[in-house]
Amino acid sequence: MKLLITGRPGAGKGTQAVNIKEYYNIPHISTGDMFRAAMKAGTKMGLLAKSYMEKGQLVPDEVTIGIVEDRLSEADCKDGFLLDGFPRNLAQAEALDKFLTKNGIKLDAVLDVNVENSVLVRRMVGRRVCKNCGATYHVEFNKPLKDGICDNCGSPLVQRPDDTEATAVNRLAVYDEQTAPLLDYYKKQGILKTVNGDQSFDKVFEDIKAVLK
Ligand code: ADP
Ligand code: ADP
Ligand code: ZN
């Protein structure tokens, strides 16, 4: 399975990616996670990414396209992968197509997890992530067993710095302007599969499996 998962910020891409990765046994490649890891490691790229991420803007294409191409060239992507959060604009989509064609790779599907804007700010502002293992929770919709503590590994949960209301609103605007046109782009390629992301966690995953059959 060679898949992309797309959707507005907070739509549930990362949450469903965990299910998809396990079910199809493919690596989950999230550009947001890669940038956060680089920030944590304090690399030059991490520092650069930070300045864009904290404003809710896109990290420049030169940087982003490069790290995705490097990652897709690794051995574990040979038989499949799930790209999450990339591409996010037309230039990235075209660069990806060029890379895939050059390497004889064909995408099986582009999953669009569709959720209306009105639901999303609440999802982002309430999101909590494990500092250690990256597991994602929500203060209302997906509570950990113990407040502020990860069920998986017992580490503290934190709020992402870009999950404030103001930045969340800005990220939704960036999505509408730069990422939304990709839906048409992949529709024209005949590989776009839309699922309703405004349902229970399990139902969304059921729908994903159904459209991928
Ligand atoms: P994305 O990767 O698209 O930004 P996440 O998977 O991190 O989104 O989900 C954003 C927040 O919404 C998280 O706190 C997550 O627990 C919560 N969430 C995800 N899916 C659902 C759902 N179907 N219903 C309610 N909340 C959800
Ligand atoms: P969400 O889906 O909730 O917006 P992500 O983790 O996918 O969260 O992205 C967080 C931030 O990382 C984005 O707001 C952006 O600054 C940066 N980012 C992630 N993916 C890309 C990309 N493909 N191009 C440019 N910037 C990106
Ligand atoms: Zn954890």
Question: Can you tell me whether residue 175 is helix, strand or coil?
Answer: helix
Which ligand sits nearest to residue 130's alpha carbon?
3
Q: What is the spatial distance between Cα 18 and Cα 137, in angstroms, rounded to a whole number?
A: 13
Spatial contact of 57 and 174, defined as CB atoms under 8 Å apart:
yes
Mean pLDDT of the 124-130 span: 98
Give the model confidence (pLDDT) of 44-96 as tens digits.
Answer: 999 999 999 999 999 999 999 999 999 999 999 999 999 999 999 999 999 99
Q: What is the spatial distance between Cα 115 and Cα 23, in angstroms, rounded to a whole number?
A: 23
pLDDT number for residue 48: 97
pLDDT number for residue 114: 98
Residues with CB under 6 A from ligand 2: 9-10, 13, 31-32, 35, 52-53, 56-59, 64, 85-86, 88, 92, 162, 171
Spatial contact of 59 and 53, defined as CB atoms under 8 Å apart:
yes
Confidence of residue 36 (pLDDT cuts 50, 70, 90): very high
Told to judge if 171 belongs to the known catalytic residues of this protein, a careful annotator would answer yes
Q: What residues does 2 pair with on adjacent strands? A: 81
Sort 165 into a burial class: Cβ within 10 Å, 0-12 / 13-18 / 19+: exposed
The yes or no reply on domain 2-26+79-212 and CATH 3.40.50.300 is yes
Nearest ligand 1 atom to alpha carbon 11: 3
pLDDT number for residue 6: 98
Q: How far is the CA of 172 from the centre of ligand 3 (A)?
A: 27
Mean pLDDT of the 153-179 span: 97
Q: What is the spatial distance between Cα 130 and Cα 156, in angstroms, rounded to a whole number?
A: 6
Nearby residues for ligand 3 (ion, Cβ within 5 Å): 130, 132-133, 135, 150, 152-153, 155
Domain residue ranges of the chain, discontinuous segments joined by +: 2-26+79-212
Confidence of residue 147 (pLDDT cuts 50, 70, 90): very high
Query: Percent of the chain scored above 70 by pLDDT?
Result: 100
* Annotated catalytic residue, options 8, 88, 123, 128: 88
